[in-house]
Chains A and B, each alone.
Chain A
Amino acid sequence: MKKLLVSIAALAALGLSSVASAEMVLNRGGGDNPGSLDPHQISGTWESDIARDQFMGLYTEAADGSIIPGAALSHTVSDDGLTYTFKLREHNWSDGTPVTAGDFEFAFKRILDPATAADYAYLMHIIAGGADFNGGEGSVDAVGVKAIDDMTLEVKLASPAPYFIAQTTHNTAYPVPKHVVEKFGGDWARPENIVVNGAFKVDDWVIGEKLTVKKNPMFYDAGNVALDAVNYFPIKEETAELNLYREGGLDVTYNMPADIIDEIKAEFGDEVMITPYGGTYYYTFNATSEPFNNVDIRRALSMTIDRDFITTVVNTSGIVPAYSFVPTSLPGYQAQNPSWASKSYDERVAMAKDLLAGAGYGADNPLKIQLRYNTNEGHKNIALAVSDMWAKLGVEVELFNTDARTHYDDLQKQDFQVGRAGWIWDYPDAENLLALMASGKSYNYGQYSNAEFDALLEASYTQSGQERIETMQKAEAIAMEEAALAPIYYYNSKHLVASYVNGYVANGDDRHPSRWISISE
């Protein structure tokens, strides 16, 4: 029997050979299958990685994540902060056609068109008339984007948005080639039709196996692009990805298994890259019904969560305890912790007991709640730890898990008491997170509502600079004090980056355009 196995394996091993090639090729973990190559039809970070290689927005990212001119050379802003005028760079699509302001106008209107049905179109609602058109009420002509001439683009905003320049680096604001989209319609982004203005262009795509992009010779800065090709391997399973990295099949991973970080560090040392990432893992309280419409109960439960225990014992992947919703890694912003955050854990538990007693819950009348999370080992471990902590207050916690689709469906319908959620910013600005606590917003799962918070956030839209940041900080302080939600930890990004890979620079947005990457032998 054994002999037979060995000979089968031996037969299988025949033909295995390593082909040395002169081309510089990077093998990247892709995270998952991209759903589309159309920058308007994607929503996952693994998809925007590929879109970022293929397209270039008005502004784009340097290797360290900082914002640099892309398809635009410069811009001016009107005094009221509403009108942005971009001067475009002279460059071409991969088929040789010039990229014009008309392509941008077309692209911005296309993503807002209800017929495009783009999930992420709401990011472009900041453009004047955008929200109405996208909602099916306005008209395309009222959308505030206009090509003044081939090289000048004017964008009118609905309200001042100091983060708009940062937003032009996002895939929702990428240009699309008008002439190609008109010719092929919904099929324009298929590998055989697609035309791009970025550093790389898709060459081959076997769904579930590999997506290859090759250097785009028409890219304006092609001379400074070192890599000839990048292979994206869509591997969801982190252990499988680790195995492939170990074998040398990958040069950079998309993620790594959080539960064995210490072993991975021991094995790979400097190749482990763990960086704070713009997002927060949190529990949301359903503020629309008993008992969580009571602010004391929300506060009591939030302060009883021992974040240090979670980040040092439950999940040791280098995550940072969170007391504020806006991550501390956001530059230029002071994250706002609730007043109890500085107290010791024992003091907090005692305080929480008083708060619960004040609300009428105690040993004879225990608070009974249900904690929901989407099925995942990591979420389960945290939920178990948290329910243990809440048990100290005499709270009886029932754990309830469903798959992610059902979970978020229930959250949206306020069919929960306490639910797990997470948010990664779309662009590095506090507003992108704070808007989740504004009244009536659809991502405000618990439907927390505070008039003062709403007023401050509203006011911040017409302000700029430091004044705007202080207003947002005030707003966050209110929401955190009222435990609008319970932040647990700040996300981080985890990659294995082989020592011979250069230009893959740690940054808070976890954006790593392949155009800056090279391989040294």
Chain B
Amino acid sequence: MAYVLRRFGQMLILVVIALAAVFSTQRLAPGGPFDGEKPPPPDILINLEAYYDMDLGMPAQFMGYLFGMAARDVGANGRPGRVHWVSIPKAAEVSITGSLDGEDLGETLVVRKWCPWGEWLRRFVDKPVDARPLRKCGIVRGDFGLSMTKRNIYVNDYVRDGLPGTLKYAIPSLLFALFLGVPMGFVAAYFQNTRLDFSMVSVGMIGTIIPNLVMGPLLIYLLANQLDGFFHWIFVDQLEWVELSRRQRTLNLIPSGKSGGPIHYLLPTLVLGTALLGRIVRLSRAGALEALRSNYVRTARSKGLPNWLILFRHVLKPGILPVVTYLGPVSAVILTGSLVIEFTFSLPGLGSQFISAATDRDYTLLMGTTVILLLFVIVLNFIVDLLYTWLDPRIRTGGSPT
């Protein structure tokens, strides 16, 4: 338990360092969220920067991002003024008339409570015509802030709508790689050093060696362009599973923009899945080989157990152990792969949001997607650790330093 806590602490530090790095580097990169083909005039730029607290120093911006801000005064010229980190002193109250939810507040401050989680009872300065974001709870309270280029969308909304799009392709890809890769590895191990072994390993490695960025267009060319007629013949003519719409002449395997029909899972899943396949084949092969050489398998053989029973009962569990260890890093591979496939196939998801956030210098959105991707990798690593102790009792009894 102490070990788990210590690792958790380490990860927290890692997350903060990573956040600080992304936070500062993106702001140091040339260009900003408000530059563009028609950048706003200087006056309006000042308004915009104040709106997003970019008029503050970078440390203050980072603190605000992490822990939120209680409020900002309405300063000179109607622009946001002094920052109140914790609560608003009585003296700083600004006389504003307004009403909230039908309640007439008269000349007073408006109190807002909003945060995805955590208590937040601070007072926010609000003006009736104010469009400033009032939700600045900080990421510690689960608030990723307001997008800087998409002015009415909270980064939380982006994550809510983008994550399913990413998982929709990530999960089938992982399943594809596991259910194909593990048996391939076991077959390779069982027929060690034969042609079958060699071909299993090489088939797996091909997908891993070819980068996603190349694999995507390659598969588009092979399956969607060259074999399009073949798939059309199967799905449309023979099986009649796909009904062509009024303008459609051929079956189109390339997913295009919106999450199209289920048939559009084919290409993205293949691209992402094959990227993982090689590693999984090799790891499960290695695991199976070690198990096959072990004493208990020899004993089982000598007892005359049939081969399939030995494989299932004695080789499977220890054999997939290396694969399970790999599932942590796999999440990173899949998520970075998602960036590429969402880009290649124009699919909606966190990856495409991440890319457009980076090119648009949408600082808050970029931070938000980065945090989510980071958390994903970390959480999966934790789950893997737990699975690992369950699969290999030696770890549970042996390795708990105090």
Task: State whether B30 touches A41 (Cβ < 8 A).
Answer: no
B345 neighbours in A (Cβ, 8 Å): 240
| Closest residue of A by beta carbon distance from B36 | A408
Contact status of A235 and B256, CB under 8 A, knowing A13-B241, A208-B165: yes
Interface with B: A60-68, A180-188, A290-298, A355-363, which one? A180-188
Q: Is A209 an interface residue (CB 8 A)?
A: yes
9 cross-chain CB contacts under 8 A? A6-B234, A137-B77, A207-B162, A241-B256, A249-B260, A405-B360, A409-B30, A409-B31, A442-B42
Q: Is B270 an interface residue (CB 8 A)?
A: yes
Task: State whether B43 touches A209 (Cβ < 8 A).
Answer: no
In the A-B complex, the 5 residue pairs with the closest CB atoms: A248-B245, A136-B77, A405-B31, A35-B150, A36-B152
A405 neighbours in B (Cβ, 8 Å): 30-33, 35-36, 359-361
CA distance A181 to B161 in the complex (A): 25
Q: Is B78 an interface residue (CB 8 A)?
A: yes
Q: Is A402 an interface residue (CB 8 A)?
A: yes
A207 neighbours in B (Cβ, 8 Å): 153, 157-158, 161-162, 348
| Closest residue of A by beta carbon distance from B266 | A9
Q: Is A40 an interface residue (CB 8 A)?
A: yes
Known A-B contacts: A38-B152, A405-B32. Give 20 more (CB < 8 A).
A9-B235, A9-B266, A115-B51, A115-B78, A115-B79, A117-B47, A122-B44, A185-B126, A185-B130, A186-B130, A187-B152, A208-B349, A209-B165, A209-B348, A240-B256, A244-B257, A405-B360, A405-B361, A406-B31, A443-B38
Q: Is B131 an interface residue (CB 8 A)?
A: yes
Q: Is A134 an interface residue (CB 8 A)?
A: yes
| Closest residue of B by beta carbon distance from A442 | B41
- List B residues 191-229 near A (Cβ within 8 Å): 203
Q: Is B129 an interface residue (CB 8 A)?
A: yes
Q: Is A18 an interface residue (CB 8 A)?
A: yes
A12 neighbours in B (Cβ, 8 Å): 262-263, 265-266
Contact of B35 among A36, A239, A246, A408 (CB under 8 A): A408
B153 neighbours in A (Cβ, 8 Å): 33, 35-36, 207
Q: Is B100 an interface residue (CB 8 A)?
A: yes
- List A residues 78-127 near B (Cβ within 8 Å): 106, 109-110, 113-122
Chain B residues with CB under 8 Å of chain A are 29-44, 46-48, 50-51, 74, 76-80, 98-102, 126-134, 147, 149-153, 157-158, 161-162, 165, 176, 180, 203, 231, 234-235, 239, 241-249, 252, 254, 256-263, 265-266, 269-270, 345-346, 348-349, 352-353, 356, 359-361
Q: How many residues of chain A are within 8 Å of chain B by beta carbon?
A: 85
Task: State whether B79 touches A208 (Cβ < 8 A).
Answer: no
Q: Is A15 an interface residue (CB 8 A)?
A: yes
CA distance A402 to B359 in the complex (A): 11
CA distance A159 to B132 in the complex (A): 31
B34 neighbours in A (Cβ, 8 Å): 119
B256 neighbours in A (Cβ, 8 Å): 235, 240-241, 243-244, 247, 249
Q: Is A313 an interface residue (CB 8 A)?
A: no
CA distance A190 to B43 in the complex (A): 27
Binary CB contact string for chain A from 1 to 35 against chain B (1 if under 8 A, 0 otherwise)? 10011101110111111100000000000000111
| Closest residue of A by beta carbon distance from B253 | A9
Q: Is A323 an interface residue (CB 8 A)?
A: no
A498 neighbours in B (Cβ, 8 Å): 247
A406 neighbours in B (Cβ, 8 Å): 29-31, 35
Contact of A41 among B74, B151, B262 (CB under 8 A): B151
Task: State whether A209 touches B258 (Cβ < 8 A).
Answer: yes
Total residue contacts A-B, CB cutoff 8 A: 262
Task: State whether A404 touches B30 (Cβ < 8 A).
Answer: no
Task: State whether B269 touches A8 (Cβ < 8 A).
Answer: yes
| Closest residue of B by beta carbon distance from A183 | B101
A248 neighbours in B (Cβ, 8 Å): 244-248
A241 neighbours in B (Cβ, 8 Å): 256-257
Q: Is A233 an interface residue (CB 8 A)?
A: yes
A4 neighbours in B (Cβ, 8 Å): 180
CA distance A37 to B150 in the complex (A): 10
Task: State whether B35 touches A409 (Cβ < 8 A).
Answer: yes
Contact status of A110 and B129, CB under 8 A, knowing A37-B152, A186-B152, A405-B31: yes
Task: State whether A403 touches B359 (Cβ < 8 A).
Answer: yes
CA distance A190 to B208 in the complex (A): 43
Contact of A421 among B37, B258, B270 (CB under 8 A): B37
B35 neighbours in A (Cβ, 8 Å): 404-406, 408-409, 412
A269 neighbours in B (Cβ, 8 Å): none
A41 to chain B, nearest CB (A): 4
Task: State whether B131 touches A41 (Cβ < 8 A).
Answer: yes
Task: State whether B76 touches A136 (Cβ < 8 A).
Answer: yes
Q: Is A206 an interface residue (CB 8 A)?
A: yes
CA distance A403 to B98 in the complex (A): 43
Contact of A40 among B127, B131, B149 (CB under 8 A): B131
A180 to chain B, nearest CB (A): 12
Q: Is A398 an interface residue (CB 8 A)?
A: no
Contact status of A38 and B77, CB under 8 A, knowing A235-B258, A249-B258: no
Binary CB contact string for chain A from 234 to 254 against chain B (1 if under 8 A, 0 otherwise)? 111101110111111100000
Task: State whether A181 touches B129 (Cβ < 8 A).
Answer: yes
Task: State whether A186 touches B134 (Cβ < 8 A).
Answer: yes
Contact of A249 among B134, B176, B231, B245 (CB under 8 A): B245
Task: State whether A16 touches B38 (Cβ < 8 A).
Answer: no
B243 neighbours in A (Cβ, 8 Å): 16-18
A190 neighbours in B (Cβ, 8 Å): 152
Q: Is A422 an interface residue (CB 8 A)?
A: yes
CA distance A190 to B133 in the complex (A): 13
B334 to chain A, nearest CB (A): 17
A37 neighbours in B (Cβ, 8 Å): 152
Q: Is A58 an interface residue (CB 8 A)?
A: no
Q: Is A439 an interface residue (CB 8 A)?
A: no
| Closest residue of A by beta carbon distance from B112 | A185
Q: Is A43 an interface residue (CB 8 A)?
A: yes
| Closest residue of A by beta carbon distance from B184 | A1
Q: Is A189 an interface residue (CB 8 A)?
A: yes
Task: State whether B151 touches A36 (Cβ < 8 A).
Answer: yes
Q: Is A468 an interface residue (CB 8 A)?
A: no
CA distance A5 to B100 in the complex (A): 58
CA distance A18 to B249 in the complex (A): 16
| Closest residue of B by beta carbon distance from A240 | B346
CA distance A412 to B37 in the complex (A): 10
Task: State whether A136 touches B41 (Cβ < 8 A).
Answer: no
B15 to chain A, nearest CB (A): 25
B366 to chain A, nearest CB (A): 12
